[in-house]
Chain A
Amino acid sequence: MANMSPEKVKMNELDPKMRAKCFEEVATGYTAAQALEESQRCLNCKNKPCMQGCPVNVRIPEFIEKIREEDFLGAYEIIKSTSNLPAVCGRVCPQENQCEKYCVRGIKGEPVGIGRLERFAADYFMEHGKKEEKEIKKNGIKVAICGSGPAGLTCAGDLAAAGFDVTVFEALHTPGGVLMYGIPQFRLPKEIVQKEIDSLRDMGVEIKTNYVIGKSELVDELFEDGFKAIFIGTGAGLPRFMGIDGEMLCGVYSANELLTRINLMKGYKFPDYDTPVNIGKHVCVVGGGNVAMDAARSSLRMGAEKVSIVYRRSMDEMPARREEVHHAIEEGIEFNVLTNPVEIIDNGEGAVGGLKCIKMELGEPDASGRRRPIPVEGSEFTIDADTVVMALGQSPNPLIKNTTEGLEINKRGCIVVNEDGLSSKANVYAGGDVVTGAATVILAMGAGKTAAKAIIDSLKA
């Protein structure tokens, strides 16, 4: 008999007051008993509506059934057969817009906690599972992957499993891309990302760090080096600014810089780690996406007394995962919605002295389908701030496009690809944020998978 509770089994979380002062993971995950209870909410629908919401086609009802049978490792195997990063997806996917959006149980009450169950199975495997020594038959064909974020890692994993000789080139000193530099420890522990990367290495994937493709080595040279296909998954790295006065003042960060200092460089452990971060008493974070939430909650953990989100639309239009907004509110982040910055005020010494904003109201829907924010004349006001973080989205990194001939790029600087992820240049594939502009981890993974399949089909034929 199915568990007919209209609500998901709650996941244990650290107390908001306590967690806002440290970088420990906020959600501690389901226990086996909780997972079992939640798994019984799944109706195991015949037409599997949830699966259509998953960019990597995880066989959701099947893995949940395994959990119900208490075969937790079996559940993991099913997830792993289509997703290379289960422990990551279970934590950072916006499930409410994907699998859980289509769950029948969501019609009356909350959908099944698919993400939480996925995370449980992945964590259970990390603790209890044994690495299987699968014999992979090598085909000797070399493929290069540029960038080791979610798109690159997924593509690498699928190709390695199919017997290809895969080399991943990473510009930074640590592989993982946004999973390492962007998403904070308290949401996605780096140890987990590291384990996923280690398991790729176990499959024979070679990862070369400190290799900036487009600088250290050019795409065309990779072909000369014997690579038969190249996948570009270099992400959307270039931060945007607003173009308002005061953005050069000391104390103005891009969210990318702030998060990289804290996550990748472990600035929260300064001075044991060398990289400093200057967080003031009152931080304003501009933007309403996941990155904005991450920047705001990280600022709090770095010791800010007050952290405010400034977002030009309303709570309803906010693109961040619902859970992150909820966590941010619990931790005491202030939300100034329908508010847009017009100037960062100089404190007289070249540093941030406040954020001058204007109130907004919502007009007709714009191209994104969301109601367009319009400034309310004469409604300017100033928020006290000594640190301003711009979390307005990123543009694709231009290093490869600038040094590769024959690669078609669109107006927004994104690489143009067909449905297989193939670019305008022969045997050069691309996927993830470098194609779509800043999006989600799971979409990037889906693109990595699509390209891997196309590469396998094209080179094996």
Chain B
Amino acid sequence: MYKIVEKRELNDQTTLMTIEAPNVSKHALAGQFIILRIDEQGERIPLTIADYDREKGLVTIIFQKVGATTKRLGLLSEGDALLDFAGPLGRASEFDGLKKVCVIGGGLGTAIAYPQAKAMHDLGIEVTGIAGFRNKDIIILEEEMGKVCDHLHIATDDGSNGNKGFVTNILKDLIEGGEKFDEVIAIGPLVMMRAVSELTRPYGIKTVVSMNSIMIDGTGMCGGCRVIVGGETKFACVDGPEFDGHLVDFDSAMRRGAFYREKEQISVNHKCRLTGETK
């Protein structure tokens, strides 16, 4: 069992949890993910590692309570335990040779962008952070991002934080304004990662995206997470989760991401026949 040692609500929908998992923390690096299962009936879900503490054997995850499993996960408290917690899975981010990078987080993606920004900041890379949210009430990790970014821009779709716009508007302004990034890292919803990739393509700026595909084992076994990258089939779990955004086929990724939507709803509304509990 893997104990929850810290739980913090970042906003109405988003929760941070720190889990005791020395099996994962020992080799964890930015860009990698874990797979967890709450209980015997639970499904395996992948979540990106938001932070880790090797000495204490801790791993932090941040999740949005949108699906059957994440909603139930959100009901657990400090002191409770998860049945399974495996990792670190996937390839770690590569920062070799980078001097100036723009890290973009879209909504919850900011939770994944944060460890990347932090890792690069620790390596002495100049980091510009851009984070986008629907409104100011759901802004997360502003303080943490502020500490590891040399420049931080936070935008809201509705302008409620005083800075209306999408992350792409900000990125475009920065590039047009003469900023020269070695690389752009975009993490968030597929539409946002596609928009960023399309924006940077004409400028020839290398763009890395993190694919959050549906998967079961996370070790290359099921092939459910396959993504087309540059015309080749890649597995997000072992070849990724990060890929060259200019080569990813986002259309098929979006379709596959929605494949279980109906079943997800059934699961959310399901009342257990045995215990009468609603998940």
Contact = CB atoms under 8 A, between A and B. Distances in A.
B161 interface: no
Nearest to A178: B221
B5 interface: no
A278 B264 CA distance: 11
Contacts of A181: 217, 221
B260 A171 contact: no
Interface in A238-264: 238-239, 241, 243, 247-251, 253-254, 256-257, 260-261, 264
A274 B69 contact: yes
A378 interface: no
Given A276-B263, A276-B264, A278-B263, A254 B86 contact: no
* Chain B, interface residues (CB within 8 Å), range: 35 or more
Nearest to A173: B84
A398 B238 contact: yes
A274 B267 contact: yes
B224 A273 contact: no
B107 interface: no
Q: Is the interface of A mostly helix, strand, loop or mixed?
A: loop
B68 A211 contact: no
Interface in A260-297: 260-261, 264-266, 270-276, 278
A211 B221 contact: no
Interface string B85-112: 1111100000000000000000000000
Contacts of A195: none
Contacts of B255: 248-250, 350-351
B246 to A, nearest CB: 18
Given A172-B217, A247-B233, A256 B84 contact: no
Interface string B232-257: 01010010000000000101100110
A273 B41 contact: yes
Nearest to B91: A402
Contacts of A248: 226, 228, 233, 249, 252, 255-256
A216 interface: yes
A212 interface: yes
Contacts of B27: 215-218
B259 A278 contact: yes
A237 interface: yes
B83 A212 contact: no
A397 interface: yes
A136 interface: no
Contacts of A256: 221-223
A199 interface: no
B44 interface: yes
B43 A274 contact: yes
Contacts of A265: 43-44, 216
B256 A250 contact: yes
B219 interface: yes
Given A171-B217, A265-B216, A254 B224 contact: yes
Interface of B: 23-24, 26-27, 37, 41-44, 68-69, 83-89, 216-217, 219-224, 226, 228, 233, 235, 238, 249, 251-252, 255-256, 258-260, 263-264, 266-267, 270, 272-274, 279
Given A274-B42, A275-B43, A350-B252, 18 more contacts: A173-B44, A181-B217, A210-B23, A210-B86, A211-B23, A215-B219, A217-B26, A241-B223, A241-B233, A249-B255, A251-B259, A257-B222, A257-B223, A266-B41, A274-B43, A274-B267, A278-B260, A399-B220
